[in-house]
Every structure is written in structure tokens, then in C-alpha cells.
């Protein structure tokens, strides 16, 4: 049984970790921390976990966290880097769901996140936790940088094309739309129900923090630099991401449907839909599945890839648990095989 700690358990990704790990046959949460909710039962903050999670929030300290085999950080950027070095020094493994260890270029991270990185020496040893691309490295890792929700959808949608070397990598376009939970649980006027309901908008069109992470991942897949236009949007739903990707084929003889089916044939959580399909966010809600459909309008050279995932599950906590399973030699699907919630 893997003994698990969660730092930052009051946010949506922390709550999703608790929900998923409660049904995990090989893992048990023994420590859950929150400075602001110290002494408060988890069920008092999340009534859906009443009778399922009998833990109380505690203040994070190295001694209690080092008693765990693995610690998940479900914290805002800039928090994990201050504590992770001390935890790793005790022999406890770490999976960080924030952006602290994702970007290998420290100066670039500091530029986008507006602060100095206090654990730059660990970035090179952190393994990027996208199982479909990095499975073998994840299996031997002590520190995992779990991908962001948008980066997961964009990378999984473009990976078959980039690995096949069949598209123009200088002109990739990603239009991605996320539910409001992607902004976190903190109070914000912009995320109030009257502000987002019955509306749809783009944001960050001139630059978004996930852009350098996505570009780094796509470049790794392509084996060279890429040119990407990334525009995120806000959906008036609680959870879910729908991403539409555009690329130009350089090989017009390619059967893109077959390419995607072959690439993901053995992936437990990537579902390539039949030709002509259009994935829906509701089909993956609450699940670790990513559903993909690929189109070639008019049988021309433009490829359109549609990707649907749950931003809190495959885009965050579920993927983190998928990484945990790989790190401990457990079945990759352990605790994650539930289908999406419909309606």
C-alpha cells in the first residue's frame, strides 16, 4: 500500500485527488495539509467525501510528509519549489501538479511566472509526467512535473502527427476552451456564476503561461522547434476542456485516422473515436479518459484534431495518479477506470 500525502488539499485538484484515491486499491492518503484550514475535517469542506475520507487538515511539516512514500503538491505555482527539496532529501517521492518543475529553461519560467525559482537545481531531474510520451522515464522518477490541463490536450492531440513528421511544424494552431474550475477555487469576480454563465470568451490571446510548456513538449515530440499559436477560451461549465487543433499536412497520401488509431492502440486512457466523430466534454467528465477525433476537411491538406478531457482529472489529478501507478509498478489503470459522468 502506497502511503500518500497531499499538500494543498483545499483546492479543486486536491479534492479530486482525494476523490480518486479513496477508491484506489493500492494507495491510502495519510496526510492532507492546508495552512488556512488546519484542524478542519476534510468532510466539512467537501461534504461529498463524508464517510469516505476521515482525515483532518493539518499544517504542512517535513516530518509528517516524509512519513509518506509519495507526496502530491496541489498548490499554486511557487509553493512546491520551497518544500520539495527537503522532502526529496528524506527519500519520499514527489508529484507536483503546479508549474514549478515543468519548464526546463529557468529564465523562461521566471519570465512567465514573475518570480525567482528557488529550486532550479531540481528542474533538470524532474520528469515531465505525460505517460503516453514519457512512460519509461516516469517509471524510474523521484520527482514528476505533472502537465497542465491545456498542455495535456494539445500534446496528445498533436503527438501522432509530430512523431510521424507529416505536418508543417512552423504553423500549428490550438484553440482550447476550459471550464471555470481550471482557474482554481480562489474567489474571483471574473469567475462568479453571473459573469461566466451564458457567455463564451477568449483570453490570453497575446500570451498564456501554458504556451512555453506546450512549445517545449511539442518540440520534444517533433525533435525540433515548433511554431504554435495558442488561444485559450473560457467555457460556462464547471469542468472539461475541448481543444481544436489545426495543422498542415506535408504528406497528402497519409491516412490520418489510421495514424491516430495505431499511435494510441495500446493506451488505456486515450480513445480515438471513429472517423467523422466529434467528442463531447460530458463524455469524459470525472474520468481520466481523453477522447480524440481527427478530421481532414475536403480530404485536403488541413488536419483538424478535436480533443476532449476533464481538466481536473486527465488534465491534473487523474494523470498524476496515473504517474504514481507507473512509479510504483502498479496497474496503470488502478483507481482510474471509472467512465465519464453522463448526464
| Average pLDDT over every residue of 225-239 | 95
Residue 58 backbone dihedrals phi, psi, to 5 degrees: -125, 165
- Residue 120 phi/psi, 5-degree rounding, is -60, -30
DSSP 8-state class, residue 285:
T
Domain boundaries, the chain: 2-125, 150-310
Q: What band does 182 get if pLDDT is binned at 50, 70 and 90?
A: confident
Q: What is the distance, to the nearest Å, from the Cα of residue 3 to the centroid of all Cα atoms in its chain?
A: 22
- pLDDT tens digits, one per residue of 281-319: 999 999 999 999 999 999 999 999 999 999 999 999 999
Cβ-contact 126, 101 below 8 angstroms:
yes
SS (H, E, C) 150-217: HHHHHHHHHHHHHHHCCECCCCEEEEEEECHHHHCCCCCHHHCHHHHCCCCEECCCCCCCHHHHHHHH
What is the per-residue pLDDT for 196?
Answer: 73
> Would you say residue 107 has pLDDT above 70?
yes
Q: Which of 156, 17, 3 is nearest to 75 (CA)?
A: 17
Q: How far is CA 95 from CA 19, 22, 342, in A?
A: 17, 18, 30
Give the number of other CB atoms < 10 A from CB of residue 53.
20
pLDDT at 32: 96
Residue 180 has pLDDT above 70, yes or no: yes
What is the per-residue burial (b if ≥16 Cβ within 10 Å, else e) of 170-181?
A: eebebbbbbbbb
Q: What percent of the chain has pLDDT over 70?
A: 97
Percent with pLDDT over 90 in the chain: 90
Cβ-count burial of 114 within 10 angstroms (0-12 exposed, 13-18 middle, 19+ buried)? Answer: exposed
Which DSSP category does 249 fall into?
B
How many Cα neighbours within 13 Å face the side chain of 1?
12
Q: Say how many C-beta atoms besides its own lie within 10 A of residue 62's C-beta.
A: 13
CATH class of residue range 150-310: alpha beta
Task: Tell whether the model's pLDDT for residue 102 goes beyond 70.
Answer: yes
Banded model confidence at residue 187, pLDDT cuts 50, 70, 90: low
Name, in order, each residue with C-beta under 8 angstroms of 188's C-beta and a sequence gap of 6 or more: none
Mean local confidence (pLDDT), 71-85: 95
Residue 169 has pLDDT above 60, yes or no: yes
Assigned fold of 2-125: Rossmann fold (3.40.50)
**Per-residue pLDDT band at 194 (split at 50, 70, 90):** confident
If you average pLDDT over every residue of the chain, what do you get?
Answer: 95
- The pLDDT value given to residue 184: 67
The string over 70-92, giving b where at least 16 C-beta atoms fall within 10 Å of a residue's C-beta and e elsewhere, is bbbbbbebbbbbebbeebbeeeb
The rounded distance, in Å, linking the Cα atoms of 2 and 22 is 12
What residues are labeled active site?
149
Amino acid at each position: 500500500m502506497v502511503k500518500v500525502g497531499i499538500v494543498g488539499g483545499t483546492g479543486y485538484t486536491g479534492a479530486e485527488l482525494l476523490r480518486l484515491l479513496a477508491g484506489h486499491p493500492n494507495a491510502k492518503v495519510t496526510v492532507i495539509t492546508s495552512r488556512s484550514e488546519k484542524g478542519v475535517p476534510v468532510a466539512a469542506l467537501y461534504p461529498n467525501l463524508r464517510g469516505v475520507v476521515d482525515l483532518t487538515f493539518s499544517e504542512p511539516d517535513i516530518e509528517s510528509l516524509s512519513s509518506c512514500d509519495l507526496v502530491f503538491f496541489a498548490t499554486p505555482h511557487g509553493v512546491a519549489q520551497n518544500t520539495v527539496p527537503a522532502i526529496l532529501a528524506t527519500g519520499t517521492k514527489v508529484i507536483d501538479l503546479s508549474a514549478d518543475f515543468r519548464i526546463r529553461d529557468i529564465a523562461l519560467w521566471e519570465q512567465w511566472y514573475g518570480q525567482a525559482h528557488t529550486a532550479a537545481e531540481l528542474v533538470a531531474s524532474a520528469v515531465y509526467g505525460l505517460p503516453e510520451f514519457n512512460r519509461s522515464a516516469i517509471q524510474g522518477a523521484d520527482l514528476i512535473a505533472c502537465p497542465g490541463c491545456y498542455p495535456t490536450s494539445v500534446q496528445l492531440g498533436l503527438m501522432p502527427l509530430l512523431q510521424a513528421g507529416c505536418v508543417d511544424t512552423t504553423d500549428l494552431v490550438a484553440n482550447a476552451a476550459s471550464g471555470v474550475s481550471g482557474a482554481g477555487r480562489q474567489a474571483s469576480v471574473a469567475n462568479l456564476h453571473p459573469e461566466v454563465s451564458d457567455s463564451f470568451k477568449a483570453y490570453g490571446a497575446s500570451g498564456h503561461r501554458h504556451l512555453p510548456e506546450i512549445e517545449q513538449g511539442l518540440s520534444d515530440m517533433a525533435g525540433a522547434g515548433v511554431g504554435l499559436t495558442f488561444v485559450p477560451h473560457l467555457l460556462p461549465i464547471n469542468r472539461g476542456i475541448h481543444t481544436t487543433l489545426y495543422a498542415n499536412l506535408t504528406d497528402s497520401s497519409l491516412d490520418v485516422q489510421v495514424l491516430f488509431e495505431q499511435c494510441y492502440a495500446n493506451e488505456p486512457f486515450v480513445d480515438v473515436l471513429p472517423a467523422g466523430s466529434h467528442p463531447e466534454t460530458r463524455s469524459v467528465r470525472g474520468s481520466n479518459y481523453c477522447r480524440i477525433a481527427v478530421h481532414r476537411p475536403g480530404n485536403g491538406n488541413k488536419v483538424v484534431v478535436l480533443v476532449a478531457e476533464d481538466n481536473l482529472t486527465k488534465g491534473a489529478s487523474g494523470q498524476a495518479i496515473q504517474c504514481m501507478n507507473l512509479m510504483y509498478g502498479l496497474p496503470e489503470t488502478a483507481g482510474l477506470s471509472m467512465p465519464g459522468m453522463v448526464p
